[in-house]
Homo-oligomer: A and B are copies of this chain.
Amino acid sequence: MQKYREIGLKLTPQRLAILEYLDGNTSHPSAEDIYREVKKRFPTMSFATVYNTLEVLRKRGNLLELTIDPERKRYDPNTSPHHHLICLRCKKIVDVHVDYRIDLPQKERESFEVFGNHIEFYGICNNCKQKGGVMNGSV
């Protein structure tokens, strides 16, 4: 999120607020997280603005849309290659900054143009584990 150097983008206060909220944010917020936060400063803020802005940032390559949480999309302003660890209970997501080198077999590389990969580690975070509960298929 190169601070405020948003060449080619109209810099509105709402967008700035979203950018500031995202800048350095490692909580992998959902659209609603962002909406709730920014709405504090701009009470008329609408969901459409959040989604529009996120889409614009994604198209510019400044934001990753994560498909890890089965309930909602999560967003990551850190666009450098990295992986994620998610808690199956509370859906907390943390970064995994390790450069695993992973190659695809020739067969798949022939039938796809592969752009990259992303590893999703899954488990239960300490916080949820201490809260207890059964550990069957229901997680």
Which residues in B have their C-beta under 8 angstroms from that of A138?
A: 59
- A96-B105 contact in complex given A67-B69, A113-B123, A117-B122, C-beta closer than 8 Å: yes
- A121-B104 contact in complex given A65-B70, A112-B87, C-beta closer than 8 Å: yes
Stretch at the interface among A1-9, A19-27, A38-46, A124-132: A124-132
Q: What number of A residues sit within 8 Å (CB to CB) of B?
A: 41
Which residues in B have their C-beta under 8 angstroms from that of A117?
A: 119-122
Copies of this chain per assembly: 2
A81 at the interface (CB under 8 A from B): no
A94 at the interface (CB under 8 A from B): yes
B112 lies within 8 A of A118 (CB)? no
Which residues in B have their C-beta under 8 angstroms from that of A113?
A: 123-124, 126, 129
Interface centre among A88, A105, A137 (most CB of B within 10 A): A137
**Residues 28-72 of chain A, each 1 if its beta carbon lies under 8 Å from chain B, else 0:** 000000000000000000000000000000111100010111100
Bound: A126/B70 CA distance, A: 28
- A118-B120 contact in complex given A70-B65, A96-B108, A98-B105, C-beta closer than 8 Å: yes
